[in-house]
């Protein structure tokens, strides 16, 4: 069970302070949302931010690329220090090749599906990935409401993994994860939990992370 706070809800002017608070507060991963204004209607974080964060934290960097044609950016983010690169199934006609590129760079490969994409779409790429990220909101913004239809997708992924011994991936959820929703996704089989607004909405990220952890452990 890993809690991955998203710095999309951090105080951008005090990013290093907030990242230090997450690390001291027991975060397992640091989730970094990258948005290009094309694949999603918002802009956030370039590779320079990932490179700047790399030396100031020991947390693994879980980079979520919400960009069209991610193959153009994979090497850049790998070199910047990403430990995991998540790319959207919907973002390229060459998802298989893009995931191969990530693996060849020695980075954990993660494939993401939007709320409108079925798990069945991933059948050919599951053997390539260390993680599947199920979007539990439409990508682009923090602070949205959890979409309950995602629960069935997590269950389907668990079934597929159980039925195929060669498959070995974590199941991450992202969007609307808070004290009301985390137990449902954990019960369905998710084991990596991204949380942005919930972690930063109170004064103590540590307390918020602990609240989430207590609910799933
Ligand atoms: O990828 C995204 C949004 O597209 C996220 O990682 C958000 O940052 C999650 O924010 P909350 O829903 O937890 O506020
Ligand atoms: Fe994200």
Domain ranges of the chain: 2-216
Give this prediction's pTM.
0.98
The verdict on the CB of residue 139 being under 6 Å from ligand 1 is yes
Residue list, CB under 5 A from ion ligand 2: 33, 64, 174
Give pLDDT tens digits for 10-49.
999 999 999 999 999 999 999 999 999 999 999 999 999 9
Q: Which residue intervals of 28-174 are DSSP H helices? A: 47-53, 74-80, 95-104, 150-163
Give pLDDT tens digits for 38-93.
999 999 999 999 999 999 999 999 999 999 999 999 999 999 999 999 999 999 99
Alpha carbon distance 120, 157 (integer Å): 9
C-alpha 205 to ligand 1 mean position (Å): 16
CB 65 within 8 A of CB 49: no
For the CA of 64, the nearest atom of ligand 1: 1
Kindly calculate the radius of gyration of the chain based on its CA atoms and give it in whole angstroms.
Answer: 16
C-alpha 80 to ligand 1 mean position (Å): 22
What ipTM was predicted for this assembly? 0.99
The verdict on the CB of residue 205 being under 6 Å from ligand 1 is no
26 is in an annotated binding site: no
In 41-185, which ranges are E strands? 43-44, 61-66, 84-88, 108-113, 131-135, 170-174
Residue 44: strand, helix, or coil? strand
For the CA of 199, the nearest atom of ligand 1: 13
Q: Tell me the sheet residues that pair with 65.
A: 34, 87
The domain 2-216 is classified under which CATH number: 3.40.50.300, 3.40.50.720, 3.40.50.2300, 3.20.20.70?
A: 3.20.20.70
The verdict on the CB of residue 85 being under 6 Å from ligand 1 is no
Confidence at residue 150, expressed as pLDDT on a 0 to 100 scale: 98
């Amino acid at each position: 069970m890993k809690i991955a706070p998203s710095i999309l809800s951090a105080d951008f002017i005090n990013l290093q302070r907030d990242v230090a608070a997450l690390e001291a507060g027991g975060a397992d991963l640091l989730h970094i949302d990258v948005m290009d204004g094309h694949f999603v209607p918002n802009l956030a974080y370039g590779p320079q931010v990932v490179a700047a964060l790399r030396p100031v934290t020991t947390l693994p960097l879980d980079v979520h690329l919400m960009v069209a044609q991610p193959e153009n950016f994979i090497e850049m983010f790998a070199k910047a220090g990403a430990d995991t690169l998540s790319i959207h199934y919907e973002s390229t006609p060459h998802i298989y090749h893009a995931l191969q590129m990530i693996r060849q760079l020695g980075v954990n490969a993660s494939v993401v599906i939007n709320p409108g994409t079925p798990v069945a779409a991933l059948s050919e790429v599951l053997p390539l990935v260390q993680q599947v990220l199920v979007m539990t909101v439409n990508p682009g913004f923090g602070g949205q409401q959890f979409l309950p239809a995602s629960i069935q997708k997590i269950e389907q992924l668990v079934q597929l993994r159980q039925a195929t011994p060669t498959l070995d991936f974590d199941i991450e959820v992202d969007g609307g994860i808070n004290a009301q929703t985390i137990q449902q996704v954990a019960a369905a089989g998710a084991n990596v939990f991204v949380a942005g607004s919930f972690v930063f909405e109170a004064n103590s990220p540590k307390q918020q992370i602990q609240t989430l952890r207590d609910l799933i452990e």
